[in-house]
Structure 1
Amino acid sequence: MQELGSVIITLEEYLFRSSTRASAAELQKLIADDFIEVGAAGNRFGKSEVLSRLPSEDAPEITADNYEVRRLSDECVQLLYQATLKKRGDTDPSYSRRCSIWVMNSGSWQMCYHQGTPCQPF
C-alpha cells in the first residue's frame, strides 16, 4: 500500500506543475473521460472543461501535505490532503482540503474525481 500511495501522490503532484497543466496531451492521459470536479465555489465540471481551461490558465503555485491514501478497491484509490495555493499577483495564499479519486484505466492511473473545499489556514 505504501508503494501505491507514493505513486498516487506523485501523480497528484505532477498535476500541480505548470508544465503539466499547460499540456493538453498530459492532461488527456491523466484525467479520466468521466472525470468530475467540484470546485471551491460549488461548480461542477468535467474533462472537457479542464482541457479547455487549464492549458491557458496562469497556474498557481500549489503545495500540499498531510496526505492520506485510502484504497477503495484494487483499481480505485482515494487521496485526501491539504493544499496551499498562491496565485500570481495575490498577496495571500488560499487554503483547502482536497480529495481526489484515482482509477486504473487500461493499465494507467487516471483521476476520475476531484474536490477542493476552502478552509482556514493550517
Structure 2
Amino acid sequence: MSDTCLTLDDIETLTRLEESLWRAETRYDPVLMDRIFADDFFEFGRSGRIYPREDLILPACAARPIDVRLPLPGLKFTVIDTNSVLVTYVSEVRRALDNVETANRSSIWSRRDGAWQLRFHQGTACQAPTDK
C-alpha cells in the first residue's frame, strides 16, 4: 500500500471487517473480536460513554439481532500512513419499529504483522440524512 492509496483487496478486507462489527454472527464471536480489536483499542460510544477493549469482546451467549442498514452508508477510506486507515460512514440501527438511531462513525484500522486491527472507534449521534 502506498501512502495515498489502498488496494482493492485492502478496501474489500476493511469493508468486511467493519461490517463484521455489525453482523450478529461475527460481532458475538469472542475469538474473532479478540483478533480484530488491537490491544490498545477503545471506543467513544454514541452515548458518550468510553468503552475499553475488554467491555466489547462479548460472549456468544450475549448474541442478539442487530438491525443495521448494510452495506454501510457513506463508507469512505482515508489513508493516514502506510499502515493506518481512517474509515468513516453513517450507521442506521433500528431499535424499534419507528426508532432508527443514526450516527456518524469513524474507525482507525492499523495493519500489524500483515493483519488489520481496529485501534479506535467513535460514534456520534446525528440526524438522519434526508433524501434529496
Same structural fold, with TM-score higher than 0.5 when normalized by the shorter chain: yes
Aligned-partner SS, 2:46: coil
Q: Show the counterpart of 2:56.
A: 50
In 2 relative to 1, CA 54–84 (structure 1 residues): closer, same or farther, beyond 3 Å?
Answer: farther
TM-score by length of 2: 0.82
Alignment partner of 2:107 out of 97, 100, 113: 100
Please identify the structure whose Cα radius of gyration is greater: 2
Q: Quote how far apart the aligned CAs of 1:58 are.
A: 2.3
Amino acid at match of 2:87: L
TM-score by length of 1: 0.89
Alignment partner of 1:25 out of 31, 45, 49: 31
CA RMSD for the aligned pairs? 1.7
Residues of 1 paired with 2:49 and 2:60: CA distance?
Answer: 16
Deviates more, 1:98-107 or 1:56-65: 56-65
Alignment partner of 1:82 out of 87, 90, 101: 90
Residues of 2 paired with 1:17 and 1:41: CA distance?
Answer: 20
Aligned-partner SS, 2:33: helix
Aligned-partner SS, 1:35: strand
Aligned-partner SS, 1:79: strand
Identical residues among aligned pairs (%) = 24
Residues of 1 paired with 2:65 and 2:118: CA distance?
Answer: 19
Residues of 2 paired with 1:23 and 1:39: CA distance?
Answer: 20
Residues of 1 paired with 2:44 and 2:60: CA distance?
Answer: 15
Residues of 2 paired with 1:37 and 1:112: CA distance?
Answer: 9
Higher percent of residues as strand: 1
Contact 1:82 1:97 in 2 (8 A): yes
Residues of 1 paired with 2:126 and 2:94: CA distance?
Answer: 14
Q: Residue 5 in 1 paired to residue 11 in 2?
A: yes
**Stretches of structure 2 lacking an aligned partner (at least 5 in a row):** 1-5
**Stretches of structure 1 lacking an aligned partner (at least 5 in a row):** none
